[in-house]
Amino acid sequence: MAQKLKLEIVTPASQVLCEEVDEITAPGNMGQFGVLPGHTPLLTILDVGEFSYRKGSDVYYLAVNWGYVEVADDRVLVLVETAESQDHIDLARAKAALGRAEAKLKELNPADKEYRILQGALQRALVRIQVGSRGSRH
Amino acid sequence: MANLKDIKKRITSVKSTQQITKAMKMVAAARFRKAGQAIEAARPYAAKMQQVLASLALREDPAAHPLLQKHDRRGKALVLVLSSDRGLCGGFNLNVAKAAEQFVRSNADGFDSYEVVVIGRKGREQLKTRGLIADKVYEDVTADATYATAALIGQEIVHGYEQGEVDAVYLVYNAFFSAIRQEVTVDQLLPIIPAEAEAEVFPVQPLYEPARGEVLSSILPKHVEVQIYRAFLESLASEHGARMSAMESASKNASEMIAALTLQYNRVRQAVITTELVEIISGASSVQ
């Protein structure tokens, strides 16, 4: 298909990306979903997860953290809290964070207020590890 | 004529003042750089968010969520004024207070009453001298403008709007352009203004995932928080910029004053020496 998607990713800290891509896959709040050119207008909530986009035959991965996606007229606007590409992920740090979160979660019981915060941290660490260990991008 | 000791004293005092203004300028410059970067980084996100919301407000039925609904009643409007906690920043607080006062007094939209919420101690003081008493003041939150604070204020505002306690919300703040240019801006925060409808575009109902209500009640309050946060950062960068240029000119004025005083000091000194010489010479000649 000749048509392309215009993908824009912004976080409160910076504009991460503004590119023409062929396809995206995003971690929707109700499950992973894909968008191809010609998609119907869509507004959805993103969860913590792995976001990927395809340009030609190259697939790029990003770890994103909670936000929104708006699809309209082959424009994909991604508003997320954080977005980290593979190059920006510190695997060692993510693994350390995972270990910490797991250890603490064992001590707490699910009713604690901290439990949910920690679970979030755990999830983010998992996603980072998943994205970071995807191997090289080509 | 002023005596030597007095002039000397003044020179010393002006010098130490200059030291303070110079130091403050340096500090402001460092903070300004940081704040400037923060606002530059935050702008795209806030702008895109605004864009999403504006198009959403255009397509969406206002009844879908209380934050989209325009209140027919023109009861009370909330004005959130962003100022600073510290002074010595030129016309920064004065300008924002002036704009807020003008906005409330002119009452262009015909509200019955206004609730004035001020962020920053100096803004409250300025408004007070202008006869506007702040209904609520947040102090000591501007120094390190965190998202958490903005979110807290946002939640309170959203709650007030949903409960119908206020019928519109405005933001008054110094928009940041450059170190020497800040402009007071009044933004309507709530109700959300829909985008201008483009003639050829049909308002298409987008898909919502999960349900429409859930998406809306997540994104709308978030939008309010993001916009308040952006105004926070704008105001902070403006504050440091304003302080920087105020301290710059204060240091310059101090230099001029020191130069003038030194000149005067030397003149007086010379006059004293001349008088003494004349006295000695005339004394000596009378002895001869």
The domain tally of chain A equals 2
Name the residue among B42, B51, B215 with its Cβ closest to that of A45.
B215
| CA gap A33, A53 in Å, rounded | 12
C-alpha torsion sign, points B262, B266, B272, B276: positive
CATH architecture of B4-20+247-287: Orthogonal Bundle (1.10)
Can you name the residues that pair with A20 across neighbouring β-strands? A6
CATH of the domain at A128: 1.20.5
In chain B, domain spans: 4-20+247-287, 36-246
ipTM of the complex: 0.75
DSSP string, B101-154: HHHHHH-TT--SEEEEEEESHHHHHHHHHTT---SEEE-S-STT--HHHHHHHH
Q: What is the pLDDT along chain B (288 residues), one digit of tens a residue?
A: 568 899 999 999 999 999 999 999 999 999 999 988 888 888 888 888 888 887 777 777 777 777 777 777 778 888 898 988 888 888 888 889 988 888 888 877 778 888 888 888 888 888 888 888 888 888 888 777 788 888 888 888 888 888 888 888 999 999 888 888 888 888 888 887 776 655 445 556 677 777 777 788 888 888 888 889 888 888 999 999 999 999 999 999 999 999 999 999 999 999 999 999 999 999 999 887
Beta-carbon separation of B44 and A15 below 8 A: yes
Beta-carbon separation of B207 and A43 below 8 A: yes
Name the residue among A12, A14, A42 with its Cβ closest to that of B206.
A42
Cβ contacts of A77 on chain B, cutoff 8 Å? 48, 51-52
* pLDDT digits 0-9 by tens, A59-84: 888 888 888 888 888 888 888 888 88
Asked if A8 is an interface residue toward chain B (Cβ–Cβ < 8 A), one would say: yes
Together in a domain, A36 and A68: yes
Looking at 3.90.79.10, 3.10.20.70, 1.10.4190.10, 3.40.1380.10, the CATH number of the domain B36-246 comes to 3.40.1380.10
Name the residue among B56, B207, B219 with its Cβ closest to that of A40.
B207
* Burial zone of A104 (CB within 10 Å; 0-12 exposed, 13-18 middle, 19+ buried): middle
Tokens describing residue B172:
């008054």
- The phi, psi pair for B88, rounded to 5°, reads 50, 45
Q: Is the pTM of this model over 0.90?
A: no
Least Cα separation, residue A28 to chain B (angstroms): 8
